[in-house]
Amino acid sequence: MNPKKVVIATRESRLAMWQAEHVKSLLQARGHEVSLLGMTTQGDQILDRSLSKVGGKGLFVKELEVALEEGRADLAVHSLKDVPMDLPEGFALACVMEREDPRDALVSPRYESLEALPQGAVVGTSSLRRVVLLRAVRPDLKIEPLRGNLDTRLRKLDEGQYDAIVLAAAGLKRLGLGARIRQLFEPAQMLPAAGQGALGIEVRADRADLIAALAPLADLTTWLAVSAERAVSRAMGGSCSMPLAAHATLNGRVLSLHAAWGDPDAPRPLVRAETVAEVADLDAAAALGTAVAERLRAGGAR
């Protein structure tokens, strides 16, 4: 069965809407009739506390899943780094799409790089991963929480609340804000989050018709890489709000996976682990991620 009419559940932030519109246009090109169901999630509403304290990034996903469960929507488009490592019973990741730039970006009106920031400069981020990675490079900086959607974060920076902020390059590029980027961090300097830059499409697991319809949108290279990255995170406890970085690249069938863990409560060196192996499928990629997580734990990560 070919699902002719498809409803996409989406958050209403500008970036989430771009992502949903992107999938909508790809599906329309394949002959589907597509509409959007805009929603506000708990993650969008709770702006005064860090996500790690109120339930993690899964707060951006829950309401969308309820819409899928109730049949008000057929699929949800997510930034994969916001998707919990284990989906609830009855849901499936039907498709992982081609990745945008997975790197982190420094945005600052005055300073052209992390190195150029003066001692004690205020840097905004709400990610524990970015906190520990920034501290490893520049322990002298003052790192302050930064919540809100992309436009809100940029506005707070422009109002002078921060000297610089760190954001995912992918979101800035997708919204045509690439010119705001002052420095792109190479993974060796600032390892990305698991799934960063990739879009995932979630459906109810019993929707075989939709899973088949979405198959042409999938990018296997990205899917293999993020399967390895997400497996590191899953094996380390599964939370998206963990001081953990994991980044994989694929060269032919050879997957290189790097991971890093830092302690947000105590200044100590990052624990790093890496591995390279040939992978044939998603299960093999995930097994590689599990092995890297074991190495992190052996090195003192928890």
- Active site positions, annotated: 82
| Count of C-beta atoms within a 10 Å radius of residue 283 | 11
**Pairing state between β 199-204 and 271-278:** unpaired
- DSSP string over 210-241: HHHHHGGG--HHHHHHHHHHHHHHHHTT--SS
Q: Which of 211, 283, 288 is nearest to 249 (CA)?
A: 288
Q: Which helix (H) or strand (E) segment is 68 a member of? A: helix 62-69
- Per DSSP, the three-state class of 300 is coil
- Per DSSP, the three-state class of 294 is helix
Tokens of 120: 């004690």
Cβ contacts of 174 within 8 Å, gap of 6 or more: 15, 18, 19, 22, 100
* Residue 167 CB-half CA count within 13 A: 27
- Give the Cα separation of 94 and 197 in Å (integer): 17
Cβ contacts of 171 within 8 Å, gap of 6 or more: 15, 79, 150, 177
